[in-house]
Amino acid sequence: MSVALPPTVALDGSFARELPELAVAWQAEEAPDPRLLVLNAALAAELGLDPDWLRSPDGLRLLVGNLIPESATPVAQAYAGHQFGGYSPRLGDGRALLLGEVVDASGRLRDLHLKGSGRTPFARGGDGLAAVGPMLREYVVAEAMHALGIPTTRSLAVVATGRPVRRETVLPGAVLARVASSHLRVGSFQYARATGDIGLLRRLADHAIGRHHPDAAEAEQPYLALFEAVVATQASLVAKWMLVGFIHGVMNTDNMTISGETIDYGPCAFLEAFDPATVYSSIDHGGRYAYGNQPVVAEWNLARLAEALLPLLSDDQQQAVALAEESLGAFRHQYSAAWSAGMRAKLGLSHGLDETVTSPLVGELLTLLQQSSVDHTSFFRDLASAARGDAEPARGRFLDLAAFDAWSERWCALDPDPGAMDRVNPAYIPRNHLVEEALTAATEADLAPLERLLEAVTDPYRARPELGRYADPAPEHFGSYRTFCGT
Ligand code: AMP
Ligand code: MG
């Protein structure tokens, strides 16, 4: 059914119009009994959508894709991708739809997208559906990332569909409505390139420039400038992940955006005990997407983007490769600079300090953290107390107290600023055991733990004594954690 939405809500279809080769017009499956689990009223308002209307029966039908505004043509987007290093020429939205684009309150174009809305022509063997748990996981983690100041797709709502989903057990189904500055992926470019249609590749690049990196249009070589902008934005993004201990878990090229937003929260998790080899995903047997590998993988993915863009970089392909290599060469430096600056900030140290002093200090700290399996998030938070004169909370986490004391003495001599530390080191992250607890309860229709968790993680830097358990690492009995793909 097609109806007009309440005033001012207009969904455009510029992606589908400009890139019809990458868009298959498609409809969501009918949800038999839509029930709202969580709505992001502030984000709705930002998009010009009335939260009260979204909670109404028609609003819920919009959020599961069963009520389509006149202006909109929902599409499944085509993309390719390297999954765990192996190339898949045809992935695409197997269970997702782009409803269209909305101009938000600040004039920015944002995608409104559904996940779990039924099979599409890209579904392959999948059922096109999603269970309540994984959609709520994406909702919570994306909103936590946003609150941490990390670019990400946003979560608008999760609506239970009333349709059961068969996994290892039968689970309640749900649709996630999410918002992104676009859903263009490295894999979108790989797909366009693989068609052999250079006109399509150019249109896609122009679309990406227009939406994300408009300055590139003014550059001498706009497509090289586009690539450089993606390299820079991904270097900055992955540095932020590393600083907060985020492990994406499935950094396939189809899960890496052109905008620089984190996308597709599947088997993601947050690091607790500091160890670069940490892997939570049950499908990541080789540890390809381990915490410490993420910068290298990002660079590898960007090399795949460069390959896709080669025909646009120069008529001479050898020249194109040389240009791409040079631009990709900036990644390591940009990443290191962003990470080092972030680490200095986490340690409360002033920007002016000499790198030859701070860099070994940071390196030695990471060794100590790893040796004692120290919880990453609470350590940095407690370290601010040490800067205030009470070293015990941080110190008590180490096995080798003398080594920590020696480190701490050198660090204190640099006059760290505890107030500044509290503004960059979160008290609350979506800890794995708390996320599991909230999802399990929500799957059994108790939304209270989810709401409390959201309260903590959407205001992560403001410590609140009553939220003490949200700041603590997982209890011993939680055991070693495994995450599963959201399929
Ligand atoms: P992901 O790694 O979760 O981002 O998904 C990889 C690919 O698998 C994408 O093309 C998805 O659309 C597709 N996919 C994942 N789960 C399902 C499902 N249940 N049904 C259909 N397609 C799916
Ligand atoms: Mg994906």
What is the enclosing helix (H) or strand (E) of 163? strand 154-166
Residue 284 in contact with ligand 1 by CB distance below 6 A:
no
Q: Which pLDDT score is estimated for 486?
A: 57
Q: Which pLDDT score is estimated for 434?
A: 97
Q: Which pLDDT score is estimated for 479?
A: 84
The partner residues of 154 in beta bridges, in order of sequence, read 179
Diameter over CA atoms, the chain = 70
Task: For residue 95, report the distance from its CA to the centre of ligand 2, in Å.
Answer: 10
Task: For residue 94, report the distance from its CA to the centre of ligand 1, in Å.
Answer: 5
Q: Which ligand is nearest to the CA of 281?
A: 1
Ligand 1 atom nearest the C-alpha of 250 is 2
Mean pLDDT of 397-418: 98
Mean pLDDT of 124-132: 97
User: Nearest CA to 294 among 342, 335, 340?
Assistant: 335
Residue 91 in contact with ligand 1 by CB distance below 6 A:
yes
Asked if the model's pLDDT at residue 348 lies above 60, the reply is yes
DSSP per-residue letters across 360-379: HHHHHHHHHHHHTT-BHHHH
> What percentage of residues in the chain have a pLDDT greater than 70?
98
Q: Which pLDDT score is estimated for 63?
A: 98
Mean pLDDT of 90-103: 97
Residue 430 in contact with ligand 1 by CB distance below 6 A:
no
Computed over every residue of the chain, the mean pLDDT equals: 96
Ligand 1 atom nearest the C-alpha of 128 is 20
Shortest-distance Cα residue to atom 13 of ligand 1? 94
Residue 93 in contact with ligand 1 by CB distance below 6 A:
yes
Query: Which active-site residues does the annotation give?
Result: 254
Task: For residue 76, report the distance from its CA to the centre of ligand 2, in Å.
Answer: 13
Asked if the model's pLDDT at residue 2 lies above 70, the reply is no
Shortest-distance Cα residue to atom 15 of ligand 1? 487
Confidence of residue 3 (pLDDT cuts 50, 70, 90): low
Residue 402: phi and psi, rounded to 5, are -65, -40
Q: What is the pLDDT of residues 25-52, one digit of tens each?
A: 999 999 999 999 999 999 999 999 999 9
Task: For residue 338, report the distance from its CA to the centre of ligand 1, in Å.
Answer: 32
Q: What is the pLDDT of residues 292-334, one digit of tens each?
A: 999 999 999 999 999 999 999 999 999 999 999 999 999 999 9
Of 66-70, 173-177, 404-408, which gets the smallest average pLDDT?
A: 66-70
Q: Which pLDDT score is estimated for 221?
A: 98
Q: Could you give the angle at which helices 330-346 and 294-313 cross, rounded to 10 degrees?
A: 140
Mean pLDDT of 199-224: 98
Distance between CA atoms of residues 360 and 342, nearest Å: 15
User: Nearest CA to 426 among 238, 260, 271, 263?
Assistant: 271
Residue found by looking up tokens 């080092």 in the block: 340
Task: For residue 362, report the distance from its CA to the centre of ligand 1, in Å.
Answer: 39
Mean pLDDT of 410-428: 98
Confidence of residue 158 (pLDDT cuts 50, 70, 90): very high
Residue 248 in contact with ligand 1 by CB distance below 6 A:
no
Shortest-distance Cα residue to atom 7 of ligand 1? 91
DSSP per-residue letters across 10-54: --B-HHHHH-GGGEEE--PPPPSS-EEEEE-HHHHHHTT--HHHH
Residue 94 in contact with ligand 1 by CB distance below 6 A:
yes
Residue 126 in contact with ligand 1 by CB distance below 6 A:
yes
